[in-house]
Structure 1
Amino acid sequence: MGSSNRTVVSEFVLLGVSSKEERQVPLFTLFLGMYVVTVLSNLTIILAICLDPRLLHAPMYFFLSNLSLVDICFTTTTVPKLLAGTFSRVRKISYGGCLAQMYFFIAFGITDSFLLASMALDRYVAICRPLHYSTVMSRQVCQLLVTTSWLVSHLHSLLHTILMSRLSFCGSNRLHHFFCDVFPLLKLSCSDTTANALVVHTEGAVVVNGALVFIALSYARILAAVLRVSSSGGKRKAFSACGSHLTVVTLFYGTIIWVYFQPSSSFSAEKDTLPTIMYTMVTPMLNPFIYTLRNSEIQGALKRICRESSSGMG
């Protein structure tokens, strides 16, 4: 479409989670509480790992610290704007701000996905190839996996953002969502969105499902290896080491597949808001608790930090 035919939109209106006035204060309180818990709990995980050299140099905790950082960024991309709109009733976002929000939302979401795949690789090597663990999961390999996760996710997001920036928007600028996401924006466009939808369901599906398939194959191999272990204690230890990660993977991918792997025309703010809240707010909030609930090493690191803090104040 030529530039002369393009409708220039200066801003969008985010309609938020609910339009009912009586729900605004409870929703603001709920989302603010969730955001504060998410940031503080993930920062606590990062602090515990960084201050304990034994954890910092262990591949699993190196990935976990990066996952906690990405979860903070992922939530911060959407929740503060939602809180500001809920509190002030001013729900406008500039065209450029909308594209920027979409860019970082996609980038951090895909980074999250790749880090979960890296953690699955770590568990696979630790359980199925223990004698080669220090070689396969060396510091250099872990850093390469994390760097690649960040780089590929930002290239993926850049592709979708460039395609979105080429669309024209006319008519209503009221976005039936609480942040700038791909499907709600596509529904507002008066351009041909075939290319965008095609990329979502091809390249996007390969990127997201590729990580998911890798995780599934890793855990299939892990399960086969664990079932060959003769002692029940060994099996419990292996399942305990993988249980937290599988819980996070199920929460994250279950809601994402529900929302995104459907025709863009089928997206409904009413139907898809709850799953979206699950993976944008609930999962990042629960991750630190899931990973620490049965993890004695992180619990020990947190206790040491508390003791050192108490002695320093004494």
Structure 2
Amino acid sequence: MLSITKSALAAAWLWSSLTLAFTNPIKTLNGSDPQMVYDNGYYYLTSTSWTTVEITKARTIEGLKTAIPTVIYDDKSDPLRTRNWWAPEIWRLNGRWYVYFSTSINGTWGEMLPSLTQWVLEGGTGAPLDEPFSLVGKIRPDNYHGGMLDGTVYNIDGQDYFIFSSVASDDESPNGASLWISKLLDPTTVGPATMIAYPEFDWEHEASAVLEGPAGITSPSGEVWVVYSADSCNGPQYKLGGMKLSPGADPLLASSWTKLQEPLLVTSVENGLYGPGHNGFFKSPDGTQDWMVFHANRNSNGSCDAKRQTFIQQVQWNEDGSPQLAPPLPAGTEIQAPSGECKKRSTLA
């Protein structure tokens, strides 16, 4: 009886000693354009590292802060992969891991943007880092010819879609960088693309007419949303907006989507976060909570560079079914870890 009591006390002490919280920021350098997945006891975080594709792995969110990233690809032999290695995202599709990212040629800004190209890396069928990733090639709709960046994947009613931001000619994208969508026919092939959103509200183009960084999420009531970044990332006007898919409508039609009139997440001078944007969504380990990873600057003069930092906080839901993302919590705020994470930390049998 005494030994059982001691074991119980030891278990209780170990459980109570576990850190069930984390603080932001998660990454203080190269923390922009983040995306995360949770798989079999580990979080996997990607972000823009500018010259490589990297994945950071840890059992806990707090652990991501000290984990050493693994470089999974850095081949620059193609002139189209010389510069601007941006926004990698990792997805499990058809039982295998894939990473999508963009690069460009080396040149002037005007030359680089139209050359932006989306690439696909293929990994293995086990854990994301169990097997090496190899380059499959470009991914591009046959009917689209401009620059592509910030590609993401989202499943709607059993069909995978590829959503990306355009940097295109005036005839393809006459109102600035816009959002396009196409069916993902297989993990490396897409069908024809259509434009579903462009900068139209004043808050979407205070400094620059840009929509980018799309990320899909479904509400507890089943509504499909795409959250996107709006305006220029070179200042505090960068922000998140959202648009909802009409129930049962064709995602490939612009008329199927309705934008929110006001942004979802904006600069908080009071909390010291400027230009919050380019987010990704992920589920808690037990699948009961929605969480968001995003980047922000810590000063009002921050711009589109490596000093943007990674932040994580929980998504709440409004009564009208829209995601509640604001406010961006101040750096250093203690945040309770996602539901189910603590169970993965215990070393007890």
TM-score of Structure 1 vs Structure 2, range by shorter chain:
under 0.3
Compare relative contact order (CA 8 Å, sep 6+) and give the higher one, 1 or 2: 1
Normalized per residue, the structure richer in strand is 2
Q: Give the TM-score normalised by structure 1.
A: 0.27
Q: Which has the higher helix share?
A: 1
TM-score normalised by L of structure 2:
0.25
